[in-house]
Amino acid sequence: MDFTVLTLFPELINSFFEHGMIQRGIDKKLITGNCVNVRDFSTDRHHKVDDKPYGGGSGMLMKPEPLKAAIEMAKEKSPCSKVVLMTPQGARFNQNKAFEMASRNKGLIFICGRYEGIDERVYTTMIDEEISIGDYVMTGGELASMVIIDSVARLIPGLLGCSESFKSDSFIDDRLEYAQYTRPEEFEGLKVPDVLLSGNHEKIRLWRKRSSLQRTFLKRPDLLEKGKLSDEEKQIVTRWCQELEDLVQ
């Protein structure tokens, strides 16, 4: 899958492509990471990429010509890719969106706005989709594009060491991930729950399900409102309620 980022700060993006699992994915040719400096497409003597908004107002806008030329070049290199504008006005990114993007496997060209935004004519003619990573405003779209690439790339088969890893991720089926422990068995007086050392796979599965439900209930109850409880989850919750009742009696 091709990831292309159009930016005025290529160092930020290139460094991201050169580290961790993303670099590994690139080395294994599972993904490509391409960075395009929009300034290279300015024909202006001073390589200007911004200008004042017509009608006045504060701040500057990204000029249309260099941006259009950069998008065209990126599309030429990766014709199936979708052009995505990073903007706080876009649809909110989440794990479902990450799955959708990874399974479409079509390639993504990210436009990272700077200044007050981009010229409306580029926006209306060249952008396929607008995405926001949350209801807050950053100085540019670079961090947002890296958030998206990171979460989409790790879903591409073969990129994570263990192909099953993401199946227990938080937000799968609207539940948070269960509690996890590694060695030592006892750390500062706190012991690993016995069931995890038991080797009984069914008991471990049920313990994890309960841990996942408890965490979701305590940290993100809004997720439980969205998805109904399965029969097994209802049983777990009933037992949990019973235990709490016993505790207060």
Q: Which residues here bind ligand ADE, judged by CB under 6 A?
A: 86-88, 132-134, 136-138, 141, 144
- Half-sphere CA count of 134, side-chain side, radius 13 A: 7
Tell me if residue 142 is catalytic: no
Tell me if residue 154 is catalytic: yes
As a whole number of angstroms, the distance between CA 66 and CA 77 comes to 17
Nearest CB to ligand ADE, comparing residues 31 and 148: 148
Nearest CB to ligand ADE, comparing residues 137 and 218: 137
CB of 138 to ligand ADE, least distance (A): 4
CB of 210 to ligand ADE, least distance (A): 35
Tell me if residue 202 is catalytic: no
> What is the DSSP secondary-structure string of 125-179?
HH-SEEEESSSS--S-SHHHHHHHHHHHHTTSTTSSSSTTGGGG-TTGGG-PPPP
CB of 186 to ligand ADE, least distance (A): 43
CB of 171 to ligand ADE, least distance (A): 18
Nearest CB to ligand ADE, comparing residues 54 and 136: 136
Catalytic-labelled residue, pool 2, 88, 175, 233:
88
Can you read off the two tokens belonging to residue 192? Answer: 């690993």
As a whole number of angstroms, the distance between CA 7 and CA 70 comes to 10
CB of 147 to ligand ADE, least distance (A): 8
Assess contact for 178 and 212: CB atoms under 8 A.
yes
As a whole number of angstroms, the distance between CA 80 and CA 61 comes to 28
Tell me if residue 116 is catalytic: yes
Q: Provide the β-strand partners of residue 186.
A: 191
Catalytic-labelled residue, pool 116, 128, 129, 185:
116
As a whole number of angstroms, the distance between CA 43 and CA 50 comes to 12
Beta-sheet pairing, 108-112 with 129-132: unpaired
User: Is there a cis peptide before residue 184, judged by omega within 30 degrees of 0?
Assistant: yes
Q: Count the Cβ atoms, other than its own, within 10 Å of residue 80.
A: 11
Residues annotated as catalytic are 88, 116, 154, 169
